[in-house]
């Protein structure tokens, strides 16, 4: 049985029962070890958390998790990133980065994600330079290449989970076996992904979306997106939670609260939640 004493989270599964997995995890750990120092772009989601855990097991305090606090990063997610970093034990740094200073990002073209990642990389490079770290990694896994992600064109990031063939499902299984609290955390994305392409991104719109999603989460819904279409809020929730949101009392509360935020029309998408639904127009 393998355990990693440098972290307060113990991996509880026995790799000896699966030689292929044993080889893969050893190759990943060895590749990280060869970096000597590593900075991980850390959102606190399952992918970056698994990478941070493994990196900390291998490199100890030479691994640094960095969370970028921007207008597009929900405050609840920022709080979660702090908690999971403490859970892992990895050194954690939060740095501010205003994406709204990038005019091309604000214009919200179909390759908006590229400009977002570019700005994030500038910020991460500054931190890396201060810490004398040459490798900047993120939690991109092989499943991410099945989606429309212009940000993947930024070559400065190292994607170790993808490089060694880990899918989203693989990462979740590893996180669960590691005992990480985020193993079943729903996937999230920056708030800008809720805004229709070519609709200008503003701090006010991002705030409306974040508040609207928090209102819906307070009803007990676990996975939600509020897609912004000018004065229309198109709500996506998981198929199993559609009945929950259609409850008369719940529905009335959501409509009233979202109208107070400035939405004129409140709609429920009958297809339910799906990642990247704004890309369906492409």
pLDDT digit string, tens, across residues 162-214 = 999 999 999 999 999 999 999 999 888 899 999 999 999 999 999 999 999 99
Instruction: Look up residue 19 and give its two tokens.
Output: 């030689």
pLDDT value at residue 203: 97
Tell me the C-alpha distance between 272 and 245, whole Å.
Answer: 11
Among 261, 280, 28, residue whose Cα is nearest residue 161: 28
Tell me the C-alpha distance between 3 and 6, whole Å.
Answer: 9
Q: Please, is 11 exposed, middle or buried when counting C-beta atoms within 10 Å of its C-beta (0-12, 13-18, 19+)? A: buried
| Residue that wins the pLDDT comparison between 6 and 110 | 110
H helical segments located in the chain? 19-33, 46-59, 75-88, 103-107, 112-130, 160-163, 168-178, 203-217, 242-246, 248-261
pLDDT per residue as tens digits for the range 208-250: 999 999 999 999 999 999 999 999 999 999 999 999 999 999 9
Do 131 and 93 meet the contact criterion of CB atoms below 8 Å apart?
Answer: no
pLDDT band at 21 (very low <50, low <70, confident <90, very high): low
pLDDT value at residue 1: 35
pLDDT per residue as tens digits for the range 117-162: 999 999 999 999 999 999 999 999 999 888 889 888 888 899 999 9
What is the architecture of the domain spanning 191-281? 2-Layer Sandwich (3.30)
The C-alpha R_g of the chain, in whole angstroms, comes to 20
Q: For the whole model, what pTM was predicted? A: 0.88
User: What is the fold, at CATH topology level, of the domain defined by 15-178?
Assistant: Rossmann fold (3.40.50)
User: 201: which DSSP letter?
Assistant: P
Structural domain boundaries in the chain: 15-178, 191-281
The upper half-sphere exposure of residue 119, i.e. CA atoms within 13 Å in the direction of its Cβ, equals 21
């Amino acid at each position: 049985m393998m355990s990693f004493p440098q972290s307060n989270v113990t991996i509880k599964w026995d790799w000896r029962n699966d030689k292929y997995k044993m080889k893969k995890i050893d190759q990943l750990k060895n590749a990280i070890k060869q970096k000597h120092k590593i900075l991980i772009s850390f959102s606190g989601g399952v992918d970056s958390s698994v990478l941070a855990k493994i990196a900390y097991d291998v490199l100890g305090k030479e691994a640094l998790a960095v969370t970028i606090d921007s207008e597009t990063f929900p405050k609840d997610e920022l709080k979660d990133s702090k908690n999971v970093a403490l859970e892992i034990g990895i050194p954690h740094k939060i740095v501010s980065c205003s994406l709204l200073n990038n005019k091309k990002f604000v214009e919200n073209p179909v390759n908006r994600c590229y400009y977002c990642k570019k700005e994030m990389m500038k910020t991460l490079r500054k931190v890396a330079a201060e810490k004398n770290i040459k490798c900047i990694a993120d939690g991109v896994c092989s499943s991410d290449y099945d989606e429309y992600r212009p940000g993947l064109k930024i070559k400065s990031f190292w994607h170790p989970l993808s490089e060694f063939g880990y899918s989203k499902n693989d990462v979740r299984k590893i996180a669960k076996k590691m005992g990480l609290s985020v193993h079943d955390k729903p996937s999230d994305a920056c708030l800008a992904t809720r805004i229709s392409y070519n609709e200008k991104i503003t701090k006010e719109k991002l705030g409306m979306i974040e508040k609207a999603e928090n209102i819906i989460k307070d009803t007990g819904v676990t996975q939600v997106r509020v897609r912004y279409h000018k004065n229309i809020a198109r709500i996506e929730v998981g198929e199993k939670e559609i009945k929950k949101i259609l409850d008369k009392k719940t529905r009335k509360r959501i409509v009233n609260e979202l109208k107070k935020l400035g939405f004129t029309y409140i709609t429920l998408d009958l297809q339910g939640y799906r990642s990247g639904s704004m890309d369906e127009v492409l």
